[in-house]
Amino acid sequence: MTEHALIGRFDERDWETNPEGTVRFALIGLGWWTVDVVVPALERTDYCEATVLVSSSREKAARLADRHDADRGITYEEYHDGVGSEAYDAVYVGTPNAYHLEYVETAADLGKAVLCEKPLEASVERAERLVEAAEAGGVPLMTAYRMHTEPAVRRAKELLDDGFVGEPVHAYGNNTQPVLEMIPDPDQWRLDPDVTGYGTSVMDLGIYPINTARFLLDRDPVAVRARMASTHGAFADVPDQYASMTLTLEGGLPLLCTTSQHAQQDSQLTIVGTEGAIELHPAFHGEAKLRLASGSLRVTVDDVDFDEVAEMREEFDYFADRVLSGDPILPDGRHGLADMRTIAAVHASAERDERIEL
């Protein structure tokens, strides 16, 4: 890793195969993330186009389709019936967790490639069914981990693979946000265990350091120990208003994580090794600043123009590149399923106050 790599080609798409063609998308679930982030991102992609918008409300879907030059807006029922399926090649599933399965099952039946938001589903069992549906239908399935194509994360991975930190010693990740300030509704789906699944903070936020550390270090968790608490009334139905955990990664490497949906926004992922340290700080909220240390050297790399829209543009183009080229997808369904098993173990550990082996 040279200065050239950090400055001259910091945001190089080292994954790109320059395929021919365009992937046409149906966007399923028109919440704020899809509307405010995904749609603008798609307008800036090289290989993607939104052609069909899918919502519970035909009026909302049609209105947004009209505004964004998509072909049409349809309802969830129409999607399941295959309405307009000739107009798209792939689906983006951006609904609440517990509804992913049904949309992926239909996509598999229709032979459409799937980019599915994380966590894959509300439970391990449902995520397994989701992955198996895609496999049975022979359709590509990617779990939407946007950190895998974040330039700062990719450069961090190159540095780690090149031995920049020497032997990793430990990792720490944090991801917090004040969800009730962002969405001032105590009945929002992220706080409803029937829709979110095991809980809220680990499923929605903790998954970032868990998955990104796993990606950067090429090591899976082998054991977890966690503690959780919920004290605020809005969190009465979920166990993890706050959560802290220690994951043991392959080779005995400790990954400590903290997460909360009821805290100041903050995110960090740090890997300290015998020879250096790599830090993403902030890491997971659309602003990934890379900080490097080796001996007495300190380097900070901050792409101030890169944001969540840019992150989603990279993610969609990566997915489209793989769909068009037929090359393997790295964060595929099995990759996302592994994180579901880890999250389930984190919750089981906190509930039983036991170390859980994976």
Q: CA 72 to CA 81: how far, in whole Å?
A: 15
Specify the amino acid at residue 290.
L
How many Å apart are CA 267 and CA 280, to the nearest integer?
Answer: 8
Judged by beta carbon, residue 39 or residue 278, the one nearer a copy of itself is: 278
In whole angstroms, the minimum distance from the beta carbon of 233 to a copy of itself comes to 14
Return the number of the residue (143 or 244) whose C-beta is nearest a copy of itself.
244
Rounded to a whole number of angstroms, the minimum distance from the CB of residue 295 to a copy of itself is 8
Task: Closer to a copy of itself by CB, 270 or 342: give it.
Answer: 270
Nearer to a copy of itself, 130 or 271 (CB): 271
Shortest distance in whole angstroms from residue 276 CB to a copy of itself: 5
- Cβ closest to a copy of itself, residue 60 vs residue 170: 170
Residues that bind a copy of itself (CB under 8 A): 165-166, 169-170, 172, 174, 176, 178, 225, 227, 229, 242, 244, 246, 248, 252, 254, 256, 258, 260, 262-266, 268, 270, 272-277, 293-295
Specify the DSSP element, H or E, that contains 114. Answer: strand 113-116
Minimum distance, C-beta of residue 241 to a copy of itself, in the bound complex (Å): 9
238: Cα within 13 Å, side-chain hemisphere: 30
Q: Which is nearer to a copy of itself, 4 or 352 (CB)?
A: 352
Rank residues 273 and 333 by Cβ distance to a copy of itself and give the closer one. 273
Least separation in angstroms between CB 277 and a copy of itself: 5
Min dist. Cβ of residue 339 to a copy of itself (A): 20
**What letters, b where the CB count within 10 A reaches 16 and e where it falls short, cover 243-267?**
bbbbbbbeeebebbbbbbbbbeebb
Nearer to a copy of itself, 65 or 271 (CB): 271
Q: Using CA atoms, how far apart are residues 299 and 305, in angstroms rounded to an integer? A: 19
SS3 124: helix
Best CA proximity match to 311, nearest among 202, 208, 210, 159: 208
CB of 291 to a copy of itself, least distance (A): 9
CA distances from 327 to 18, 68, 278, 320, 321 (A): 12, 30, 30, 10, 8
First to last CA, the chain: 34
**CB of residue 181 vs a copy of itself: minimum separation in angstroms?**
8
| Host H or E run for residue 26 | strand 23-28
Strand-pair partners of 248: 223, 254
Distance CA 70, CA 81 (A): 19
